[in-house]
């Protein structure tokens, strides 16, 4: 597989000599990764992007993720200081689709935050101006990190802008196939 390039997300803080990636087996390449033997040499480039705590401008954060976007949120949570009191919103069609949920719940708890899991069809588990204001009353005072499928990220970024969060406090990463 050395000739193939695929973007994957680091799902935990790197602890040399280890680097953790979480990959959903949806295509031939991602399924083949599960068959790699420990010790197999790989070439890695990056990481890239601004989905880090170093982009943070305000003391508090809101992390919103859908789909495999939870991997980035999980790594970011691990990097936040204890007592950061993050608010985390995870969105999935079904509860079993909330990847890494036990780890995320533990990290949120250890940082004194709140976790909201919204599951069901988009009409049932809505993230709109009303639900976001209810879940995060102090939204305008937080940095907002959004990660997930392209359409989801675009909708949430537009929503938080409309709710008054300035561009410099919005950080996002979209995944597209």
**Would you say 124 and 41 are in contact if contact means Cβ atoms under 8 Å apart?**
no
Most confident of 3-7, 10-14, 24-28: 10-14
Per-residue pLDDT tens for 69-83?
A: 899 999 999 999 888
Question: Residue 76 is encoded by which pair of tokens?
Answer: 């970011």
- Which has the closest alpha carbon to 66: 139, 155, 164? 155
Residue 175 predicted with pLDDT over 90: no
The conformational region for residue 35 under phi > 0 = left, psi -120 to 50 = alpha, else beta, is alpha
CB-neighbour burial class of residue 47 (10 A; exposed 0-12, middle 13-18, buried 19+): middle
pLDDT of residue 74: 93
What's the CATH fold of domain 53-175?
Answer: Rossmann fold (3.40.50)
Task: Give domain limits for the chain.
Answer: 53-175
Per-residue pLDDT tens for 58-107?
A: 999 999 999 888 999 999 999 998 889 999 999 999 888 888 999 999 99
């Amino acid at each position: 597989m050395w000739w193939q390039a695929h973007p994957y997300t680091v799902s935990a803080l790197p602890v040399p000599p280890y680097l953790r990636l979480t990959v959903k087996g949806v295509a031939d390449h991602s399924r083949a990764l599960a068959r790699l033997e420990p010790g197999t040499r790989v070439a890695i480039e990056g990481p890239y992007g601004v989905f880090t705590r170093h982009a943070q401008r305000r003391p508090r954060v809101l992390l919103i993720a859908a789909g495999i976007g939870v991997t980035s949120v999980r790594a970011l949570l691990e990097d936040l200081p204890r007592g950061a009191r993050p608010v985390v919103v995870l969105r999935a069609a079904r509860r079993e689709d909330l990847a890494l949920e036990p780890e995320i719940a533990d990290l949120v708890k250890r940082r004194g935050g709140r976790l909201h899991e919204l599951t069901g069809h988009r009409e049932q588990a809505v993230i709109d101006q009303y639900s976001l204001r209810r879940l995060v009353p102090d939204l305008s005072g937080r940095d907002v990190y959004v990660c997930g499928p392209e359409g989801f990220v675009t909708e949430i970024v537009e929503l938080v802008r409309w709710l008054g969060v300035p561009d410099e406090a919005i950080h996002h990463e979209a995944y597209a196939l």
